[in-house]
Amino acid sequence: MNDYKGREGESVVVRKRIKDKTQHQQHNHRRQPSPSTARPPQFHRRSVSLPNNQHEESETDNEGSEVSVSEGDDSCWISWFCNLKGNEFLCEVDDDFVQDDFNLCGLSSQVPYYDYALDLILDVEPSHGDMFTEEQNELIESAAEMLYGLIHARYILTSKGMAAMLHKFKNMDFGRCPRVYCSGQPCLPVGQSDIPRSSNVKIFCPKCEDTYYPKSKYQGSILC
């Protein structure tokens, strides 16, 4: 009889331990975020917003650097791309112009990954079914840069595009003529071939009517 009571008491203790362990596991499970609801990482060009008490430290650390991080910077791809070092010759193309299929006629046959490149330019989020390798992502980004250059060439022939380029010309964003007798005449960017990405960009002086290499090595390496 005493042996039975001892076993019964031992059984109660074991059940209590199992119950406590189960409740502990359930509590830890509720504290862990569900993988299906976790936020995906932002695109690499997006800036990270910092807490208020870290803004001053961030501004001090980034002082003198080429690229600065701003709070809540959520600029579109076009603005981000045009503000890259070496892309000062480019103006920002209106989204309405890019979204008009008529303005893009014939470009799909010239650019690989055309649909994905266009989605990247317009900041269209890819569907969950589209999974790419790192190499494919690099090809899509390169295709987007090429596609934007072709769209840009058409956009600057419109009234809005000409006005944007005129503003850059007057602001001497394209550089000045290196000839002494031209007295710092503002120049215009020019391509020497109609075939995309077949030659490097040059600058044209409307005063002496000659072409020159840009001073910036970044601008001089741009294929047009």
DSSP label of 111: S
Domains of the chain: 74-162 (1.10.1820.10), 174-220 (2.20.25.20)
Residues whose CB is less than 8 angstroms from the CB of residue 136 and which lie 6 or more positions away in sequence, other chains included: 113
pLDDT at 219: 67
Phi and psi at residue 180, to the nearest 5°? -65, -40
How many angstroms separate the CA atoms of 150 and 224, rounded? 9
* Three-state DSSP class for residue 169: helix
* Number of helices followed by number of strands (H, E) in the chain: 8, 3
Provide the angle, in degrees to the nearest 10, between the axes of the packed helices 134-155 and 114-121: 70
Closest alpha carbon to 121 in 155, 146, 144: 144
**Is 198 exposed, middle or buried, given 0-12, 13-18 or 19+ CB atoms closer than 10 A?**
exposed
Say what the pTM is: 0.63
How many angstroms separate the CA atoms of 5 and 162, rounded? 97
> Sign of the CA dihedral 86, 89, 95, 100?
negative
Q: How confident is the model at residue 224 (pLDDT cuts 50, 70, 90)?
A: low
pLDDT tens, 137-184? 999 999 999 999 999 999 999 999 999 999 999 999 999 999 999 999
The answer, yes or no, to whether residue 208 has pLDDT greater than 70, is yes
**Residue 205 host element (H or E):** strand 202-205
